[in-house]
Amino acid sequence: MKAAYINHYGKLEQIQFGKQPKPIIQDNEILVKVHAVSINPLDLRMVEGEFKAVLPVHFPFILGNDLAGVIVEVGSGVHHFKVGDEVFAKTDGQGCFAEYTSLKETSVALKHKNISMSQAAALPLVALTAWQALVEIAQLRRGQKILIHAGSGGVGSIAIQLAKHLGANVATTTSAKNADWVKELGADIVLDYKTTNFAEVLSDYDVVFDTQGGETLEQSLQVLKTGGTVVSIAGPPDKNMAQAIGANWIMSKIIPLLSLSIRAKAKKRGIHYHFLFMQPNGEQLSRIAELVETQKMVPVLDRVYDFTEFSQAIQHVDGGHTKGKVVVNIS
């Protein structure tokens, strides 16, 4: 099968496009013919080896985290899906920048008929990230105030919609050119990150969803009320990541040390810090699909490419200014 893969860590230019073996599924897995995928900044960081210390891979490694497609084979232990089902999912091992990929049954959800394969492929990683941050960790409730950083990005644009569905008052940061658009998504307060320091104008917030890390994360502590929560996907990892990846004894002790400083600063302010290492979850995806079906959540596509344009799509994402998700049609 055709695939996009790497033979070693390196630069984006070293991504290979060629033939790789078609996956052989286990009893609890399904085989999906991939119709569309989306490219995430995470994929680019995997190429560069940013996570090799905690998430080592075997080469050649097929890239890709988000997909939509059609089931062509099911394992003997699969009971909730059948050949011909249209599905979407966040990968759980095998990458999806290929004609076929294998997935555990528990990672997959049915794609509703009212969205295209391209739209469905844009959802899994960002929607699961937003769901696990806002619903599972922060337990965001009606009437609470949340600051979502980078509201025009892939994760931010979905998080805004989910937060509004949950009944929260939403502030977000973005560039001035995207201000009206993120308001349409549901943001109540929009701050131009180029001209306004959010920490100087916002206060007494219940939740901050940090997608930036660094100084942005540090300043986010200032806008939270005592007892507030900051959930980060870009800050230093804590024990939750060690547990999620099944780290060995040594790494389970080392990983939490990386967030010792930010956790200490948060604790001093009476704030809860959580690092989110998103996990595939078919049940949560099914609930997300229901929101999409009722148009309470809309997939946001920046641009759609063909597989022959994969290199251009990767460079587009690497530019760092996408409005929503970049999708590639595989078939």
Looking at residue 52, its pLDDT comes to: 87
Per DSSP, the three-state class of 153 is: coil
Q: Left, alpha or beta for 231 (phi > 0: left; psi -120 to 50: alpha)? A: beta
Nearest residue to 284 via CA among 177, 126, 171: 126
78-113 pLDDT tens trace: 999 999 999 999 999 889 999 999 999 999 999 999
pTM, two decimal places = 0.96
d(CA 62, CA 27): 22
- Tokens 């790494």 found at: 251
Flag whether pLDDT at 321 surpasses 90: no
For the chain, the helix, strand and coil percentages under 3-state DSSP, each to the nearest 5: 35, 25, 40
- 44-53, 60-69, 177-186, 192-201: the lowest-pLDDT one: 44-53
- One-letter amino acid at 290 equals E
Average pLDDT over residues 139-163: 97
Q: How many CB atoms lie within 10 A of CB 30?
A: 26
d(CA 89, CA 40): 14
DSSP bridge pairs for 68: 36, 88
For residues 17 and 4, is the Cβ–Cβ distance under 8 A?
Answer: yes
- 160-164, 197-201, 241-245, 315-319: the lowest-pLDDT one: 241-245
d(CA 225, CA 220): 11
Nearest residue to 274 via CA among 220, 235, 224: 235
